[in-house]
Amino acid sequence: MTAQTYSLSPKEKSFVSWHLLVAMVALALGTLFGPLQAFEHAGLNLYPFLQPLIKSYYQGLTLHGVLNALVWTTFFITGFLTFNVIYGLKRPLRYPTLNQVGFWLMIVGLVMAAIPILLNKASVLYTFYPPMKAHWAYYVGLTLVVVGSWVEGYGFYFTYAAWRKENPGERTPFIAFASVLTMVLWQIATLGVAVEMLTMLIPWSLGLIETVDPQLARTYFWFTGHPLVYFWLLPAYISWYAMLPKQVGGKMFSDSLARLAFWLFLLLSVPLGFHHQYVDPGVPAGWKFVHAVLTFSVFFPSLLTAFTVIASLEYGARKNGGTGLFRWVLALPWRDPSVAAQLLAGLLFFFGGIGGLANAAYNVNLELHNTTFVPGHFHLTVATGVTLTFMGVSYWLVPYLTGKKLWKPDLARWQAWLWFIGMIIFSNAMHVLGILGAPRRTPLGDAPYVPAEWNSRLLQVGIGGGILFISAILYFAVMIGTAFSKVKVEKEVEVPVAEALQPVSQTPAWLDRWAPWVYAALALIVIAYGPQLYEQIRNISLTSPGFRVW
Amino acid sequence: MSTTSLHVHPYEKRWIIFSIVLLIVFTAAVAIAAFALGIQVPSPEQRVDPRTVAVDPNSPWSNPGLREIAPGRYEAYILAQTWQFQPREIRVPVGSRVTFYVTSKDVQHTFKIQDTNINVQVVPGQVSKLTVTFKKPGTYPFICSEYCGVGHAGMFGQIIVTP
Amino acid sequence: MKNQEEFQPKGTVAILVVFVITLIVLWGTIYLTLLQRGGTV
Ligand code: HEM
Ligand SMILES: [Cu+2]
C-alpha cells in the first residue's frame, strides 16, 4: 500500500494556523499564572506586584482556568480537528465559509469574555458556580465560543457527508472518523451548559430574572463538565493511536479496536456527570452510584487504548532493533522532540488515570473532593497528557503549516523533559497535600489553618511550578523562533499517519456506521439523566439572588 | 475473510478480560465501603430558602450550634456564609456521634472536617447532612474548600473533642 | 503483509503489569485511608 500524498492549500493551512495561534497566545497568558499560584502556595506571594493590573489571586485563577482549560484546548482542538478532517478525507472543506464563520464567532466570544475578566468583573473561576454572579458579557462570551465551535463542527459534518457520497462503501479514514466523532461528542456534551446559560445565567446576569437554582445549575454544568474532558483527551488519543506509531516507525496495532474505543467514549462519556457531584446535597445517593458504575465503565476504553497504543509503539521499536522486555523502549526515537513530548505525556497520563479512578470512586470522593488532589490530578491529564501531547504535535504541525524548520529541536526536547520533571514534583506534592486535607482554590500561603507538616510539600509545589515555568518559556521560544525563522523546510513536512497492521478494509462495517451508536448514546443519556433532570426541574427552587464576593 | 467480525489479538483479548475484572473489583470495594461499612455520600435532606434561613425564627440556622438529642448523640446546625462558619467552635466529648446539617445563606461553600470523611458541598437552598463519630480526642479543624470570594482562605472553624 | 498474530507484544504486557501493580497500590492506599477515617451515616 502506498500512502497517497495530499497537501492542504495555503488558505487551509493559514486557517488552521490561526486556530493554533490563538490557542498558544491563550496558553502563554494562562500558564503565566500557574507558577504564580504555585509560588504563592510555597510562601512567595507575588500578587502585590501585579497591582493594579491583576487585583487578586482569584482574578488570576479565573484567567488560568479559562485561558488554559477552555481557550487553549478548544482552539487547538478545533484547529487540529479541521486539519484531520481535510487531510484524512483528502478533500477540502465542503463550505469553508461556514467554518470561517464558526471561527470568528469563537473569536468574538473570546474577546467578550476576556474583557470582564480583565476588568475583575468576572472572577468566578472557569466553573462559574452561581449564585456568584459575573458580568453578563462573561456568560455570553463563553456561550459564543461554544456556539462557534458547533458551527465549525457543522462544517465538518457537511464535508464528511460529501466525502461519503464520493466514496461509497469505503471505510472512513481513521483520523477523520475520530475527529468527526470527537465533534459529535462535544455537541452532545455541551447541551448541558447551553441550557444552564440560556435558561439561567444569561437572563439572570442581564437582570431579566432575579434568582436562580444553584443545585440545578451544577447538574447542568457537570452534564457538560465531564465529557468536556473527553473532548480534550480524544484529540490527544488520535495522535497517540494514529500518528505517534508512524513517528516511531511502527504501525497501528489495531484499527478496529481504536475505532471501538472511540465509539465507547461517545457512548459512555456523557451519562456520568454525577461523579462530579458525589458530595452534592441535592442529588440522591442511588443515582450517584449508578453514575459511579458508568464512570468505571468509561475507564475501560482507556485501558484498551493503553494496550493498543503501547503495542503500536513496541511494534515500531522492535522493527528499529529494540529488544528485551523493557529495553525496547530505548529504541524509540527519543531524540525527536515531538515523540519525546508525547511519550512523556502518555507516561504521566497513566498516573492521571490512577488519580481519576480514585476521584471517581463514589465515597472515596469524600476524602478528595475539593482538595489539592483534584488539581494535582488534572495537571497530569489535561495539563500534561493533553497539553504536552499538543505541544508535541505542534513540533511537526507548525513546521508543516508554516513551511519553516523547527527552531532548535534540542530546546524543544528540553522543554518536554522539563515539563515532565516539573510536573512530577508539582503534581506529586499536590496529590499528597490533598490526601492530608489541603483545600484547592485557596491561596494557602494566606490560610490560617495550614499545619507545619504541609510546608515541605507546599515548597515542592513551588519548585515544580518553577520548573514548569521554564519549560513553558522554552515552548514559546521554540514556537516564536520557528514562526520567525528564515530556514525553510527542504520539502513539505510529511504528515505522520500510520498504516494499520491489518488492512483497514478488514475493519468490520459496524464500526463505521453512525446511527446506531449515536442513538444508543442518546438513549443512555435519557436513562442515566432523565429521571433526575425531570425531578430537579420539577422541583426547581429559584431562591438564590446573585452575589459579587470578590 | 469475514469483514463483520472483530479481530482481536489473543494478548489483547486477555487484557480486555482482565480490565473488566479489575473494574468490577474496584466497584465492589466501593460498594462494600458504602453499603456495609456506612461510608456514604449525602442525599437530598431538605430544602430551605437561603434568603430567610438565617433569620426565620423557625429555622434552626437562625440559631446555629450544637444540640444534644440523646446521651452522646448530637445534631450540629452549621451556617456557612462569606467568610465564616457559625458557630466557629464546637466542643464534644470523645465518642460522640454528631450529625451535621449545613446550609449557606449566600454562595456555595464546602464543609470539610479534617481527618474525617465529612466533606460536603454546601449549596444555598439545600441542606447537606452527614454524620461522624469522633473516636479520638483532639482538635479537628473544619475548613471551607470551595471558592467563595476573596476571604475564602480564612474561612474555618474547629471541633474540640475532649477526653 | 505481516500478520498481526506473528507479533507478540510481550513488552506491552510487561509495562501494563507494572502499571496495574502501581494502580492497585496507589488506589488501595487511598481506599484504606478512607476506611480508616470511618463512616458518615
Ligand atoms: C506552568 C504550568 C502550570 C502550573 C505551575 C500550574 C499551577 C496551578 C495551580 C497551583 C493551581 C491550583 C490553584 C488553586 O487551586 O488555588 C492550578 C489550577 C488549575 N490549572 Fe494549572 N498550572 C499550570 C498549567 C496548566 C495548564 C497547561 C492547564 C490546562 C491546560 C491548567 C489548568 C488548570 C485548571 C483548570 C485549574 C483549576 C482552576 C480552578 O480551580 O478554577 N494549568 N494550576
Ligand atoms: Cu466558603
A374-405 pLDDT, tens digit per residue, is 999 999 999 999 999 999 999 999 999 999 99
Which member of B18, B37, B118 has the closest CB to residue C35? B37
Q: Which chains touch A (3 or more CB pairs under 8 A)?
A: B, C
Percent of chain A with pLDDT over 90: 92
B12-70 per-position pLDDT tens digit:
889 999 999 999 999 999 999 999 999 999 999 999 999 999 999 999 999 999 999 99
Which member of C12, C22, C26 has the closest CB to residue A314? C12
Q: CB distance from B43 to chain A under 8 Å?
A: yes
Q: Which three cell numbers stand for residue A343?
A: 511519550
Can you tell me the mean pLDDT for A72-79? 98
State the residue range of the domain holding B20.
1-39
* Whether residue B23 is found in the same domain as residue B63: no
* Whether residue B57 is found in the same domain as residue B33: no
Using an 8 Å Cβ cutoff, are A454 and A433 in contact? yes
Q: Is omega for the bond preceding A52 within 30 degrees of 0, making it cis?
A: yes
* Whether residue B115 is found in the same domain as residue B148: yes
* Whether residue B60 is found in the same domain as residue B129: yes
Helix, strand or coil for residue A479? helix
Strand B156-162 versus strand B89-93 pairing type: parallel
**CA A339 to the chain's CA centroid:** 19
- Would you tell me how many other CB atoms lie within 10 Å of the CB of residue B163? 8
Q: Measured on CA atoms in the order A23, A25, A26, A28, is the torsion positive or negative?
A: positive
Total CB pairs under 8 A between chain A and B: 214
Total CB pairs under 8 A between chain A and C: 69
Helix axes A373-380, A337-359, angle to 10 degrees: 150
* Whether residue B143 is found in the same domain as residue B84: yes
Q: CA of C31 to nearest chain A CA: how many angstroms apart?
A: 7
Provide the pLDDT for residue C4.
Answer: 59
Q: Which chains touch B (3 or more CB pairs under 8 A)?
A: A, C
Q: CA of C12 to nearest chain A CA: how many angstroms apart?
A: 6
**Residues A509, A516: Cα–Cα separation, whole Å:** 12
Q: Which three cell numbers stand for residue A90?
A: 483528502
Residue B17 CB-density burial (10 A; 0-12 exposed, 13-18 middle, 19+ buried)? exposed
Q: SS3 string of A313-333?
A: HHHHHHHCCCCCCCHHHHHCC
Helix axes A285-319, B10-31, angle to 10 degrees: 150
Percent of chain A with pLDDT over 70: 99
ipTM over the 0.85 cut-off: yes
* Whether residue B140 is found in the same domain as residue B72: yes
Q: Which three cell numbers stand for residue A488?
A: 525553510
Ligand 1 atom with minimal separation from the A426 CA: 5
Is residue C4 included in any domain, yes or no? no
* Whether residue B51 is found in the same domain as residue B20: no
Mean pLDDT of chain B: 94
Can you tell me the mean pLDDT for A443-454? 94
Provide the pLDDT for residue A34.
Answer: 96
Question: Which has more pLDDT, A184 or B7?
Answer: A184
Provide the pLDDT for residue A56.
Answer: 94
Is the pLDDT at B1 greater than 60? The verdict is: no
Is the pLDDT at A4 greater than 70? The verdict is: no
Is residue C15 included in any domain, yes or no? yes
Bridge partner residues of A200 (DSSP): none
Domains of chain A by start residue, with CATH: 10-538 (1.20.210.10)
Q: Which residues line ligand 1 (CB under 6 A)?
A: A 31, 34-35, 37-38, 61, 64-65, 68-69, 72, 125-126, 375, 379, 382-383, 387, 426, 440-442, 465, 468-469, 472
Provide the pLDDT for residue A1.
Answer: 36
Provide the pLDDT for residue A45.
Answer: 95
> pLDDT class for A506, splitting at 50, 70, 90?
confident
**Residues A297, A525: Cα–Cα separation, whole Å:** 15
A32-58 per-position pLDDT tens digit:
999 999 999 999 999 999 999 999 999
Is residue C2 included in any domain, yes or no? no
Can you tell me the mean pLDDT for A511-536? 94
**Residues A141, A2: Cα–Cα separation, whole Å:** 46
Can you tell me the mean pLDDT for A479-496? 93
Task: Point out the least confidently predicted range of A111-125, A241-255, A497-511.
Answer: A497-511
**CA B145 to the chain's CA centroid:** 11
Is residue C31 included in any domain, yes or no? yes
Task: Point out the least confidently predicted range of A409-418, A489-498, B89-98.
Answer: A489-498
* Whether residue B78 is found in the same domain as residue B118: yes
Residue A414 CB-density burial (10 A; 0-12 exposed, 13-18 middle, 19+ buried)? middle
Which member of B3, B27, B51 has the closest CB to residue A296? B27
Helix, strand or coil for residue A500? strand
> pLDDT class for B71, splitting at 50, 70, 90?
very high
C4-17 per-position pLDDT tens digit:
567 899 999 999 99
Taking an 8 Å cut-off on Cβ atoms, the answer to whether C13 and B11 are in contact is: yes
* Whether residue B33 is found in the same domain as residue B62: no
- C-alpha Rg value of chain A to the nearest Å: 23
State the residue range of the domain holding C19.
10-37
Q: CB distance from B143 to chain A under 8 Å?
A: yes
**Minimal-distance CA residue to ligand 1 atom 13:** A441
Task: Point out the least confidently predicted range of A23-32, A265-274, B90-99.
Answer: A265-274
Q: Which chains touch C (3 or more CB pairs under 8 A)?
A: A, B
* Whether residue B60 is found in the same domain as residue B136: yes
**Residues B109, B143: Cα–Cα separation, whole Å:** 10
Residue type, A254: S
Can you tell me the mean pLDDT for A63-76? 97
Q: Which residue of A has its CA nearest to B48?
A: A543
* Whether residue B153 is found in the same domain as residue B91: yes
Closest CA to A543 of A282, A331, A274: A282
Q: Nearest 5°: phi and psi at A319? A: -65, -30
Q: CB distance from B41 to chain A under 8 Å?
A: yes
Using an 8 Å Cβ cutoff, are A22 and A110 in contact? yes
Which member of B3, B27, B41 has the closest CB to residue A285? B41
**Residues A126, A203: Cα–Cα separation, whole Å:** 19
Q: CB distance from B114 to chain A under 8 Å?
A: yes
**CA B122 to the chain's CA centroid:** 9
Is the pLDDT at B111 greater than 80? The verdict is: yes
Using an 8 Å Cβ cutoff, are B12 and C10 in contact? no
* Domains in chain C, number: 1
- CA A433–ligand 2 middle distance (angstroms): 19
Q: Measured on CA atoms in the order A420, A426, A429, A430, is the torsion positive or negative?
A: negative
The model's pTM is 0.96
Q: Which three cell numbers stand for residue A531?
A: 429521571
Percent of chain B with pLDDT over 70: 98
Among A66, A68, A132, the mutation site with the greatest number of ligand 1 atoms within 8 A of its Cβ is A68
Q: Which three cell numbers stand for residue A530?
A: 432523565
Can you tell me the mean pLDDT for A440-452? 94
The per-residue DSSP string of A204-245 comes to: HHTTS-S-B-HHHHHHHHHHHHHHHHHHHHHHHHHIIIIIHH
The per-residue DSSP string of chain B comes to: --SSSPP--HHHHHHHHHHHHHHHHHHHHHHIIIIIS---------B--TTTTTT-TTSGGGS-EEEEEETTEEEEEEEEETTEEESSEEEEETT-EEEEEEEESSS-EEEEETTSS-EEEE-TTB-EEEEEE--S-EEEEEEE-S--STTGGG-EEEEEEE-
A203-247 per-position pLDDT tens digit:
999 999 999 999 999 999 999 999 999 999 999 999 999 999 999
Is residue C5 included in any domain, yes or no? no
**Residues B76, B61: Cα–Cα separation, whole Å:** 10
**Residues A261, A14: Cα–Cα separation, whole Å:** 32
Is the pLDDT at A357 greater than 80? The verdict is: yes
Q: CB distance from A387 to chain B under 8 Å?
A: no
> pLDDT class for B2, splitting at 50, 70, 90?
very low
